[in-house]
Amino acid sequence: MSERQAEIAEKRIVVGFDGFIDTIVRPVRQTAAVDAPEMLFRTIGEFGQFLAGCAEKSCSIELKQEAKQLGGNLPYLSRSAGRLGMNVTCIGMLGADGKIEQEFQELPCRLYSFAAPGQSTCFEFQDGKIFFATDCKMTQDPWQLVLDATDSEAVRLFQNADLTAMVNWSELSFAPGLWEGVFEHALKNQSCDKKRFMFFDLCDCSRKTDREIEDVLQLMGRFSKVRTSILSVNENEAHVIADRILCCGTELGTIGKALRDEFGIDQVIIHTIRESFLVTSHGITGKPSEFVEHPKISTGAGDNFNAAFCFGTVMGLTDEDRVIFANRYASFYVSNGYSPTLEEIVTTL
């Protein structure tokens, strides 16, 4: 793969449309004392049990702030894709009036901003994370804001992209209009080109209505008429869709196949902390993930997985190799706390 650096640099990736400033914290179970060290809540389950025990009593929890940094699916995915050497363009909520906030200026990408970033607080644990974020609303037409931010280049960018990634549908109330806008204004009348890809990440869709979820899945099927469509979900999202929309059981490979069959989505990738499944026309490919017992960071792990999967997709890797590469990349990120370059990750394979 290292011998294909020139080819990699020519792969055009467009990512939209979120952008957050994350405050990363760890909840404190016991503050440090002269005769005892500080104790943090280790797992989500442990934290949940503590909260349940406070029902009808109330409580106060100290938060240990670890970082204030870029957040949202777009920044994490884009940073990893850029680190892998691809030509990445971001269209997101990266700063008011088109001025890029400092937290996003490090991204190895071309940046367009159509709105101020959202704000979120992330509770980190050894076995996962909990995000607290306010909904991001728009008083103006978001598609027009995207056109204005890109000097009307957005349509051309989407048409020429080798892969377009649209992420964080669940947390942006205006996302349905933007996703529909990409289809209607940029791709609907394009000739079918299955060597170009549309990559979708819903984020946690549990608070969305069944109708909203069905509508966005049907939209992905419409994208399949002009591009190869790919849906990426984690374990929680897969089970939400299976329970409420598909009624197809709990086996992850079966859920992926049902999504393909029901909505005409070309490929479905389901990733968990212990295994990943890719469902395509070639069948179901399952591979174990490298579980990291003591992660340095978990925020952004799924986005790093997705970036590596997108890389493998545009570079024409096999189904098996795409899953292996994405699993390894995400594991490296969680273990080391940063997104590796292509050279770094290749040495670990």
Q: Evaluate whether residue 33 is within a structural domain.
A: no
In a domain, 300, yes or no: yes
Closest Cα to residue 334, out of 272, 257, 247, 261?
272
Given a contact cutoff of 8 angstroms between Cβ atoms, the answer to whether 41 and 29 are in contact is yes
194 exposure class (CB count in 10 Å sphere: 0-12, 13-18, 19+): exposed
Number of domains in the chain: 1
Give DSSP secondary structure letters for 108-173. SSEEEESSPPEEEEEEEETTEEEEEEPPB--SS-HHHHHHHHTTT-HHHHHHH-SEEEEE-TTTBT
pLDDT value, residue 137: 81
Domain membership of residue 32 (yes or no) is no
User: Does residue 338 fall inside a structural domain?
Assistant: yes
193 found inside a domain:
yes
Instruction: State which residues form the domain around 340.
Output: 2-21+71-119+132-346
Residue 281 domain-assigned (yes or no) = yes
211 within domain boundaries: yes
Tell me, rounded to whole angstroms, the distance of Cα 336 from its chain centroid: 19
What local confidence, expressed as pLDDT, does residue 249 receive? Answer: 81
Query: What does the pLDDT profile of the chain (349 residues) look like in tens digits?
Result: 667 889 999 999 999 999 999 999 999 999 988 888 999 999 999 999 999 999 999 999 999 999 888 999 999 999 999 999 999 999 999 999 999 999 999 999 999 999 999 999 999 998 888 989 877 788 899 999 999 999 999 999 999 999 999 999 999 999 999 999 999 999 999 999 999 999 999 999 999 999 999 999 999 999 999 999 999 999 999 999 999 999 888 899 999 999 999 999 999 999 999 999 999 999 999 999 988 888 888 889 999 999 999 999 999 999 999 999 999 999 999 999 999 999 999 998 8
Q: Is residue 75 part of a domain?
A: yes
Give the domain CATH number at 286: 3.40.1190.20
